[in-house]
Amino acid sequence: METEESMERRLAEARERLESTRAAVARARADLSSSSSTARSKDRSVEVTVGPQGELQRVKFLDENFRTMEASQLAASIVEAANKGRATMARRVIDTFSALTPPADDADGLPGFKIDFEEIFGSALAAGRRGRGTARGGRPSANLRDEIVEDGNDG
């Protein structure tokens, strides 16, 4: 049986680790909040910048290629580049926070926790693994079948 002094020492160490982790998480959040990722479509017609939460911050059309593209091609290029950027940001967030999470089986006998990044980032991670905007089996994913429809002036 542990002595009261030993238990107090372990409790003090746990509090110290907790405060250290809180400070590290605060630094990581601050660093990530100002980060972004820029990605280009494979056809190099579109470049997008994605923020730390996967939000689209900027879309830039490169050269004049976009003027001759069909609307569905241009839309697919935008989605492809955005997915690449989201995957890069998701990976950056995972790498940052994975370093801060204790292993599930902590050596001190204190249970750790596991963050399910697949659940958090879902499609962003899937896009990073597949790249190219295709579903398993090489078929275009549903989001690339969407097309841009321009409103006409015919009422």
* Residues 60 and 40: beta-carbon distance below 8 Å: no
Q: Do 120 and 79 share a structural domain?
A: yes
Q: Do 135 and 75 share a structural domain?
A: yes
Residue 152 domain-assigned? no
Amino acid at 151: D
Q: Containing domain of residue 21, as a range? A: 1-34
Q: Structural domain tally of the chain?
A: 2
Residue 115 domain-assigned? yes
**How much is the pLDDT for 129?**
55
Q: Do 128 and 114 share a structural domain?
A: yes
Beta bridge partners of 29: none
**How much is the pLDDT for 123?**
67
Surface-to-core class of residue 69, CB atoms within 10 Å of its CB (0-12 exposed, 13-18 middle, 19+ buried): middle
d(CA 76, CA 72): 6
Q: Do 49 and 78 share a structural domain?
A: yes
**How much is the pLDDT for 31?**
85
Q: Do 67 and 26 share a structural domain?
A: no
Q: Do 90 and 19 share a structural domain?
A: no
- The secondary structure of 2-26, three-state, reads CCHHHHHHHHHHHHHHHHHHHHHHH
Q: Do 17 and 45 share a structural domain?
A: no
* Residues 140 and 133: beta-carbon distance below 8 Å: yes
* Per-residue tens of pLDDT for the chain, all 155 residues: 568 888 888 889 989 988 888 888 888 888 888 889 999 999 999 999 999 888 999 999 998 888 999 999 999 999 999 999 999 998 888 888 877 776 655 545 555 556 666 766 766 666 555 544 443 333 344 444 444 444 444 44
Q: How many residues does the chain have?
A: 155
Residue 3 domain-assigned? yes
